[in-house]
Structure 1
Amino acid sequence: MKKILVPTDFSDQASYALEVAYHIAKRAQSQLILLHVVEDTNVASMHYTGEIDMPHMEDRLFMMKLIEKGKKDLADLSSNSQYADIIVEQQLRIGSPYHNIRDIIQEHDVDLVVMGTKGSSGLEEFLIGSNAEKVVRHAKCPVLTIHKKAESFDFKDIVYATALEDEEEQCVNIVKSFQSLYGSTLHLLRVNTPNNFQSDKTARPELEAFAKRCNLQNYKIHIYNEGSEEEGIIYFAESVNADLIAMATHGRTGLAHLLTGSIAEDVVNHTKRPVLTYVIGKNK
């Protein structure tokens, strides 16, 4: 884990994410990349080079003020003495936060994105979504979402919710790297729902076989019954006081996403615990 990207809008949620990212970077001896995006609906993603091409002087002046403020805030954050023991790189971009995050991941070969999110619910969740949701759905690297100020920076208990798919092994390797870094106990979880139920007699051997195939160490197997996968993952994580929830996602888009939704995105939206996600099937 060499490079960790932390997008920031200087909000409380972003500061919570930076705090977690710093402690991961310190432990893993990683570099932090701090990204601030000055939003402009006219462009998707653009480096700041000092020239702003806008037809109206008022718009140009307003954008320049936003850029100068962003530069100052980014410089102040990067030079904070708290982060003196790690390498911190600054990136200021213009356009869409999501598109710029995507570009930075590719350009800098980012290993992990750590970002804050408020979560969402109801109509807002259905109509708008958030930048965090888009990144979770499409990122080419693992994404760790942070919802609140961390009470601890040790991920001692990790819940890994599995559907036992072969492609999940990509995600499991990432979870194992966190487990190795923190000496964690891994809770391998299957959630039974009314529409997708397996008896312990059937499910437990399948979970054991999955663990063996993935060469898991220091793990426990759990089967939890709940009305939905999302609720089962969240409630089980609460029951073991998990420090981290980890799960794979298919990153569905378009009509498929509208019809089926995403369990990973639902969990990101509705839990207060850190969630580590990885898109499988698109990252080969």
Structure 2
Amino acid sequence: METLKIIIPTDFSVQAEFAYLMVQRLEEKTAIDIHFLHVLNVPDTVTLDSAGNIQTCGEIDVNYVTKQKDIAERKLANLKVLYGDHINTHLVLGKTTDAILKFTESNHFDLIVMGTKGASGLKEKLSGSETQIIARKSKTPLLSLMCDRSDLQIRNILLVHNFSQPAKENLVLMQKLIKAFDPKMHLLQITSGSVDAEKAKVEAQMIQFAELNGISNFQCHLINDKDVENGVVHFNQMINMDIVCIGTHGKGGLFHQSATEKLINHLFKPIISFHLNN
């Protein structure tokens, strides 16, 4: 059985617990190597030496950082008590999102799983949630969720995409989920034009996409809506999906509204985001 190497960034909140419960659901069907990562959020001038001692340039109290490190290490040790010795725990120093991205890439994880509180209003426009930023920058697929989904049955997975130029995408994780859970894939494209006029063409493109990406058990959907976010929400009201998958070009922030990031912040569904090849 193929093993999924999963990292769960944790701040020891209930959202991190939701992430672990979701991973447990995945673990029922496939072997998983679970790693918890806690980032001690400190400036770049604070480092660990080879012996694990805190080093600073003098602007931050070493004793304060050492105490925070000790507290975090005790909490990480407690995770092993709660969840078992099979989990791995890690502590790194740095800026939270940058440290998560660096650790994930350097250790070649298959999936990041994060619970999120979401974001709205000015916070969303200026910075967004940490989960949103990870989705924007990470080359590793991200599974995000806002609530406890330990009761989730993975039978229907929604793939939201623009199928106008069918190509082989980076769907390695999705292939592993298909192999483990044997769900029906629902291919969805949202259009602002006429569904009747575009349907035959789009379905032909979806079929070609499915062939290129090794998807056999699937259903095609084309709906009209004002944008991707509303289309996904309205589609789920009509046909309830278990997981939503959506690609991102890695753009976002104040001057670019990413549909993927908006869904992460607003949709109460587990969402897998992945970087598109083009």
Q: What TM-score, normalized to structure 2?
A: 0.89
Please say if residues 114 and 144 of structure 1, whose CA atoms lie closer than 8 Å, have aligned partners that are also in contact: yes
Match of 1:73 in 2: 75
Secondary structure of 1:273 counterpart: coil
Q: Please state if 1:94 is matched with 2:93.
A: yes
1:65-144 matches, within 5 Å, as 65-80=67-82, 82-83=83-84, 87-144=86-143
Please say if residues 247 and 276 of structure 2, whose CA atoms lie closer than 8 Å, have aligned partners that are also in contact: yes
Give the Cα separation in 2 of the matches to 1:43 and 1:65: 17
Evaluate the alpha carbon distance shift between residue 26 and residue 90 of structure 1 in structure 2; reply closer, same or farther with a 3 A threshold: farther
Give the Cα separation in 2 of the matches to 1:180 and 1:274: 19
Match of 1:18 in 2: 20
Give the Cα separation in 2 of the matches to 1:200 and 1:260: 29
C-alpha offsets along residues 152-203 of structure 1, whole Å, 9 cap, x if unaligned? 2432110000112658633344323212211211111011125999622332
Secondary structure of 2:8 counterpart: strand
Give the Cα separation in 2 of the matches to 1:3 and 1:260: 32
Evaluate the alpha carbon distance shift between residue 180 and residue 54 of structure 1 in structure 2; reply closer, same or farther with a 3 A threshold: same
Match of 2:270 in 1: 274
Instruction: In structure 2, give the amino acid aligned to 1:217.
Output: S
Structure 1 counterpart of 2:36, from 34, 37, 58:
34
Deviation at 1:280, TM superposition (A): 2.0
Secondary structure of 2:35 counterpart: strand
Match of 1:260 in 2: 256
Please say if residues 112 and 142 of structure 2, whose CA atoms lie closer than 8 Å, have aligned partners that are also in contact: yes
Secondary structure of 1:170 counterpart: coil
Deviation at 1:224, TM superposition (A): 1.6
Q: Which of structure 1's runs of 4+ aligned residues deviate more than 6 A?
A: 44-48
Give the Cα separation in 2 of the matches to 1:91 and 1:277: 24
Alignment identity in percent? Answer: 24
Evaluate the alpha carbon distance shift between residue 199 and residue 55 of structure 1 in structure 2; reply closer, same or farther with a 3 A threshold: closer
Deviation at 1:13, TM superposition (A): 0.8
Deviation at 1:110, TM superposition (A): 0.6
Give the Cα separation in 2 of the matches to 1:222 and 1:129: 30
Evaluate the alpha carbon distance shift between residue 130 and residue 168 of structure 1 in structure 2; reply closer, same or farther with a 3 A threshold: farther
RMSD (CA atoms): 2.7
Please say if residues 195 and 223 of structure 2, whose CA atoms lie closer than 8 Å, have aligned partners that are also in contact: no
Q: What TM-score, normalized to structure 1?
A: 0.87
Match of 1:209 in 2: 208
Q: Please state if 1:187 is matched with 2:189.
A: no
Please say if residues 248 and 277 of structure 1, whose CA atoms lie closer than 8 Å, have aligned partners that are also in contact: yes
Secondary structure of 2:29 counterpart: helix
Instruction: In structure 1, give the amino acid aligned to 2:31.
Output: Q
Give the Cα separation in 1 of the matches to 2:145 and 2:159: 17
Give the Cα separation in 2 of the matches to 1:53 and 1:78: 28
User: How many residues get paired?
Assistant: 276
Give the Cα separation in 1 of the matches to 2:56 and 2:230: 48
Evaluate the alpha carbon distance shift between residue 90 and residue 162 of structure 1 in structure 2; reply closer, same or farther with a 3 A threshold: same
Give the Cα separation in 2 of the matches to 1:230 and 1:46: 43
Deviation at 1:227, TM superposition (A): 1.4
Higher helix fraction: Structure 1 or Structure 2?
A: 1
Deviation at 1:239, TM superposition (A): 2.5
